[in-house]
Structure formats: structure tokens, C-alpha cells
Amino acid sequence: MAGLAAVKSPTQDMPHDGPAIAPAAEAKSAAEKKTAKTSVRRARPPEKEMRIADQPGFVLHSYPYKETSLIVDVFSRDHGRVALVAKGAKRPHSKLRGALQTFQPLSVSWSGRAEVRTLIGAEWVGGLLPLEKSALLCGFYLNELLVKLLARDDPHPALFDHYVSALNQLAHDEPATVVLRKFERLLLKECGVAADWTRCTASGETVDPAQMYVVDPERGPRPAYAADTWPRVSGKTLLDMENEDYTDAATQTQGKFLMRFLLAHHLHGATLNTRQILIDLLQL
């Protein structure tokens, strides 16, 4: 209250034309106002408690919470990315201890109305091969993208299905470059930041396969100029990527640098740790 104490009372510099307000009356008035504000806040209807049962989901990330619990970041099919506290999950005999592993298809149940809700149960449902070696690293890359780009409580059922498909393809040794590019492109579309790559923003005409372009992260493709520092890609690459056709080696190479550039822009400088490892080890 030091700041308030430094402010002069109105009675110090003003002539006493009328009676000064008594300190007790001022205190009473302030208390009444505070009570009124508190009453207004308490009058608001409480948020409805959410109870979700048997929701398909995957653990994206988890970290310790207090002595025996975990905070788990779950990607669910119908409710998007949610934060759940798994009470007692670190205890040796907890049923949750073995279930809360990454890349395992789960049936998840939770309740609560806070930003971090309470995990009620998580059961392994199977159906996917485990990821191994480089595929495991690619899986962690997908998880990091989801954690850093998806807002919480924002459903993306189509992206969830594509995530399951991507994990399955990686587990079956599908080319990682193709799997990752497809997922990155769909993720940006789901986030609402991917323009139509079949149309030139400068002319409004269909992209010319023989022409070179750059992709403005906020608008879309435009013809490349000599002074451009953004990645240059052919119109064919843009059309191939829009059609998920990566049979051309040039499309794979140009697509890699294009997506790296776009992701860096939309992450606002945030570092993708797994991406750097992939660049160093696999040149993906």
C-alpha cells in the first residue's frame, strides 16, 4: 500500500468549504464496494464439469507432478489436445504406470472443469506395431509438432486419424520423408495457416508446373524473384505436394526445405528439438 500512501488526501490542498469525509466512512464505503464486487463474481453460474469416457487418444508428452503423479499431454480424437493429471501414476503398482506410454493407442477417461483435468483411466487398446530406431525418432517429431502447434481443447478428428495413419506407416517402414511431409502439410491446414498451393496469389491463375515460385507463409505461392531469400520451388512441386504425390525426387527435396521454412515461421522461432536431431542424423 506504499503507493497509495504517497497520494495526498484531497483535504490536504483543497480549502475546507464543507465537512471532510470521515476515515471510518471511507473504509466502510470501500468495504461495501468490495463486497458488492465479490457478490457479483459469486453470482456467475459455475462452469459445467466435464466427464469424458473411453475417448481414443495418445500420450504426446508427460512430466512429473508432485511426488507420485504426472501431468500428461494427451491427443484425443474428439476433444483435441488435453492436459490431464495422472494421480499416483509414478507409484510402482499403479495401473496407469504402464499404460501412459507414447505411441500406444489408448482408451482414455477424464473429468474436471479446470485447464488441467483429472485422469480417471487409461487402457491400452492395441492395433499398432511399436516404433523402432529412426521411426521412433520420427514419431517423437510428430508429437513435438502437435504439442507446439495445436491449441488445447481444439478438436481435430481428421488430424487424429492422419496421426494414427502416420504412426502405422512409420512402423511399417514407409519412407519417412513422405510420411512427414504429408503430416506437416495437413497439420498446417488443420491449424488454418496453409494456403491453396494450386493458385498463384499474384495473378489468381493456376500454378504453372514449369515456373519457379516462393510461398508466402501468410498468403500462398507467388512467382520467385532474384532477390528472394525464401525457398524456391517449382510449380510442379507445389502441385505434387497438394496431391500428396512424392514420387519425384525433386519434389521430396524442395518439399523438405519448404516445410522447414513454413514451420519455422508459424512456430515464431520456437526450436524443434527432434527436427534438429533428424536433420543431423537422417537429413530429413
Sheet-wide strand order for 233-234: 220-223, 212-216, 233-234
DSSP E strands, 27-134: 50-65, 69-76, 80-86, 106-112, 116-124
Residue written as cell 464496494? 33
- Do 262 and 268 contact (CB within 8 A), yes or no? no
Which ranges of the chain does DSSP label H, i.e. alpha helix?
A: 2-5, 10-13, 23-43, 95-99, 133-149, 157-171, 176-190, 235-242, 249-266, 273-282
pLDDT digits (tens, 9 = 90+) for 147-199: 999 999 999 999 999 999 999 999 999 999 999 999 999 999 999 998 899 99
Render pLDDT for 2-37 as a digit per residue (tens, 0 to 9): 443 333 333 333 333 433 434 444 444 444 444 444
Rounded to whole angstroms, how far apart are CA atoms 199 and 218? 14
Name the pTM for this structure.
0.79
Q: Which of 91-100, 143-152, 229-238, 253-262 is predicted least confidently?
A: 91-100
User: Residue 256 has what DSSP assignment?
Assistant: H
Question: Residue 76 class from Cβ within 10 Å (0-12 exposed, 13-18 middle, 19+ buried)?
Answer: buried
Q: Measured over all CA atoms, what is the biggest interatomic distance in the chain, rounded to whole angstroms?
A: 90
pLDDT digits (tens, 9 = 90+) for 201-221: 999 999 999 999 999 999 999
Which whole-number Å values give the CA distances from 283 to 190, 219, 260, 277, in the listed order? 26, 28, 12, 9
The least confident of 181-185, 220-224, 274-278 is 274-278
Euclidean distance between CA atoms 114 and 131, whole angstroms: 33
Half-sphere exposure of 274 (CA within 13 A, CB side): 16
Domains of the chain with bracketed CATH: 50-124 (2.40.50.140), 133-282 (1.20.1440.120)
More confident residue, 53 or 270: 53
Q: Whole-angstrom Cα distance, residue 171 to residue 159?
A: 18
In a 3-state reduction of DSSP, which class is residue 43?
helix
In our burial notation (b when 16+ CB lie closer than 10 A, e otherwise), range 222-236 reads: bbbeeeeebbbbbbb
d(CA 154, CA 172) in angstroms, rounded, equals 30
| Partners of 106 in beta bridges | 57, 124
Are 234 and 252 in contact by the 8 Å Cβ rule? The answer is no
Q: List the grid coordinates of 160.
A: 487424429
pLDDT tens-digit map of 47-98: 567 799 999 999 999 999 999 999 999 999 999 999 999 999 999 888 888 8
Task: Tell me what pLDDT residue 76 has.
Answer: 98
For 168, the 3-state DSSP assignment is helix
Q: Say which residue the cell 481428421 belongs to.
A: 158
Q: Which of 117, 115, 113, 67 is nearest to 94 (CA)?
A: 67
- Cα 165 from chain centre: 19
Q: Quick check: 164 and 157 in contact, CB under 8 A?
A: no
Cell of 89: 501414476
